[in-house]
Amino acid sequence: MTSTSYHGANDGVQVANNYGSITTEIHLSKRSKNSHHDDLRAPPRTQYTIAWVCALYIEMAAAQAMLDELHERLPVSVDNNNYILGSINQHNVVIACLPEGQYGTNNAAIVMTNMKRTFPEIRACLMVGIGGGVPRKADIRLGDVVVGTRVMQCDLGKLIGDGQLQRTAISRLCHPFFGTTISTVRSKHEHRLSQVPSILQQKLGGRHSYSRPTSADLLFHASYEHESLADSCDGCDHSKLVPRSRRVPHKVIIHYGAIASRNQVMRNGTTRDTVARELDVMCFEIESAGLMDILPYLPIRGICDYADSHKNKE
C-alpha cells in the first residue's frame, strides 16, 4: 500500500516547536467530489481491504462524510455490527462503530473480530476518534491530531507492595504496513500550505457538530482540579492557567508518536503527566489496544481535551 493509505496526503510543512521536537503539519490533496445521494452498488465483501473503526456515532458520521463514494448497505445483518461501505481513492473501506455506551479495548476487539470475519480480505484498520492530549509533549493543543506510531496498553500490570502499578505491557510499534507509508508521507510534508481546512470545509462545512467550540483553549496546571459544578471552566481560577505562546487560529498540526491505550478515561492532570513521562506518550485513549493482535492497525486521534478534570463534551 502506498501513501494513498492516507487518502490523498501529499504535501505539508514541518514545524519546529519550543520543546525541541519536530512535528509535521499534514495536508490532504483534494479529491473528486461525489454525491452521496445515489449510493453505488456494493462490490463483493472480498473486495473491501481497509477497516475504519470509530467509538462514537458522531465519529462514524464524520467518517462517512470523508468517503469519496458511498456504497449500498449489506442486504441483511451478517453479524452484530452495522456497517457503512464506501471508497476513498479507489480503496474499498468498511466503517463500523462500537455499540452505544460500550467503550474500551474489549469492545473494540469484538467489533474488529466480527468485521474481519465478515470481510475476510481486510488488510489493515484505522482506529480514528478523539483522545486526551499530553500538553507538554510537543506543545500539543486542542484540535491537533496524533498519529500513533507506537501504542501501549498502560493499565496492564501488577500491584506491588506500595500499591503502585508495575506496568508489564510491552509497547507495540506500528506495523511495517503503516510504518513505511508514514515515512513516505512525512518525507513529502515540506513545501505546501495546509489543505486540511479546505477539505474539512468541503466535506463537513456548515455542520455545527464538527466545528470548533466557541470556548477558548484553556490549559490549567496539572495539580489544579476543576472547581465549577458546570462543565465550563468559567468558574475556575484563571490564574492557574499555563502560559503558552499564541498559535494561528484553526491551524491543524499532526504529531507522530506514542499513544497510551487503557480501559478507563484519563481525567487527572497529575496522573496524566506521571504516566506520560514514564511511557513517553503524546495522548491517551481507550480502544486501540484491543486491536493489537487482530491485524495491522493505525490509531489516529484528534485532541479534544487535556486528559484532566477540566475536560468537557463541547
Q: For residue 313, is it within any domain?
A: no
3-state secondary structure of 12: strand
Query: Is 314 a member of any domain?
Result: no
Grid cell of 151 as nine digits: 501504542
Domain that holds residue 37: 3-305
The residue behind cell 482506529 is 127
Domain assignment present for residue 233? The answer is yes
pLDDT tens digits, residue range 133-172? 999 878 999 999 999 999 988 777 677 777 677 777 778 8
Burial letters 57-82, b for 16+ CB under 10 A, else e: eebbbbbbebbbbbbeebeeeeeebe
Q: Is the pLDDT of residue 44 over 90?
A: yes
Decide: residue 174, CB within 10 A, 0-12 exposed, 13-18 middle, 19+ buried: buried
Question: Is the predicted pLDDT of residue 10 greater than 50, yes or no?
Answer: no
Least confident among 4-8, 12-16, 288-292: 4-8
Q: State the total domains in the chain.
A: 1
Instruction: Evaluate whether 18 touches 245 at the Cβ level (below 8 Å).
Output: yes
Interatomic CA distance for residues 191 and 166, integer angstroms: 45
Query: What is the pTM assigned to this prediction?
Result: 0.82
The cell for 311 is 475536560
Task: Tell me which residue of 90, 88, 87, 85 sits closest to 72, measured CA to CA.
Answer: 85
Closest CA to 93 of 143, 128, 55, 133: 128
Burial of 31 (0-12, 13-18, 19+ CB in 10 A): middle
Look at residue 223 and tell me if it is in a domain: yes
Indicate the burial class of 271 (C-beta count within 10 angstroms; 0-12, 13-18, 19 or more).
middle
Q: Determine the average pLDDT of the residues in 240-255.
A: 86
> Is residue 161 one of the residues assigned to a domain?
yes
SS3 of residue 275 by DSSP: helix
The predicted pLDDT at position 214 comes to: 66
**Average confidence score pLDDT of the chain:** 82
Whole-angstrom distance, CA of residue 8 vs CA of residue 88: 9
pLDDT tens profile 172-230: 888 888 999 888 888 777 666 666 677 778 887 767 777 776 678 899 999 999 987 78
The DSSP bridge partners found for residue 69 are: 87
Dihedral sign from CA coordinates of 254, 257, 262, 267: negative
Q: Is residue 74 part of a domain?
A: yes
Cell numbers placing 301 = 486521534
Residue whose C-alpha is closest to residue 91's, from 128, 47, 25, 134: 47
Question: Is pLDDT of 32 > 60?
Answer: no
> What letter represents residue 108's amino acid?
A
* 215 C-beta neighbours (distance < 10 Å), count: 13
Residue 37 lies in a domain: yes
Question: Which pLDDT band holds residue 101 (cuts at 50, 70, 90)?
Answer: confident
Mean pLDDT of 10-26: 37
280: its cell numbers: 513517553
Q: Could you tell me the CATH number of the domain that includes residue 240? A: 3.40.50.1580
Closest by CA position to 141, among listed 224, 218, 223, 198:
218
> Is residue 310 domain-resident?
no
Residue 143 region, left (φ>0) first, then alpha (ψ -120 to 50), else beta?
A: left
Percent of the chain's residues with pLDDT above 90:
47
Residue of 121, 177, 123 lying closest to 149 (CA atoms): 177
Q: Which 3 state secondary structure label does DSSP give 102?
A: coil
